[in-house]
Amino acid sequence: MAFPTVSYSRDTPAGYPGMIASTEPHHIISMVVSGTSGNIPFGIGVLFDTVEDTVKLPTAIGKFAGVAVVDRTLPFANGEVYKPYDQISVMKTGSIWVTALVAVAQGDPVYMTPTGGFTNVSNSAANQLIENAEWASVTAGTNQLARLRLGVTK
């Protein structure tokens, strides 16, 4: 009987989008994905919708609700997204892993793009500043994993 070849990486990834990044205090609220929203991937910024206790995937600038936190109890068929009418965990304060769309440095301001991605680029016509947020890690290029800290008092 042949044994399958198994290989393991020496390095464990630091995290993945939507993963809580540290044990520092955090505040997570429970909301419902709006029926008019698209699928919300883990680690993406979400906006409050017009119906109470609902959030949606951004399509333009709006009222920032927080960042979608990973939920490993969702059905496998969902993939790594929240679907409309799913209950969603949204981080309001704390440290969470997200994908930085450009190179970022510690302490840089955080802007959310109209699609829910995160950057340190102002682009006042499209990106909105996330108040009391900062980058907590450094990246060297585009679309790299980075820690985002929400609820920072300066």
Q: What does the pLDDT read at residue 2?
A: 76
* Amino acid at position 77, single letter: A
Tens-place pLDDT, residues 26-65? 999 999 999 999 999 999 999 999 999 999 999 988 999 9
Q: What does the pLDDT read at residue 14?
A: 84
* Amino acid at position 127, single letter: N
CA distance 54 to 85: 9
In the chain, which residues have pLDDT < 70? 1, 154
* Strand, coil or helix: 20: strand
3-state DSSP of 66-113: EEECCCCCCCHHHCCEECCCCEEEEEEEEEEEEEECCCCCCCCEEEEC
Q: Is the separation of the CB atoms in 131 and 151 below 8 Å?
A: no
Tell whether pTM > 0.85. yes
Give the torsion sign (CA, 91, 96, 98, 103).
Answer: positive
Within 13 Å of residue 71, how many CA atoms lie on the same side as its CB?
21
Pure H helices in 23-69: none
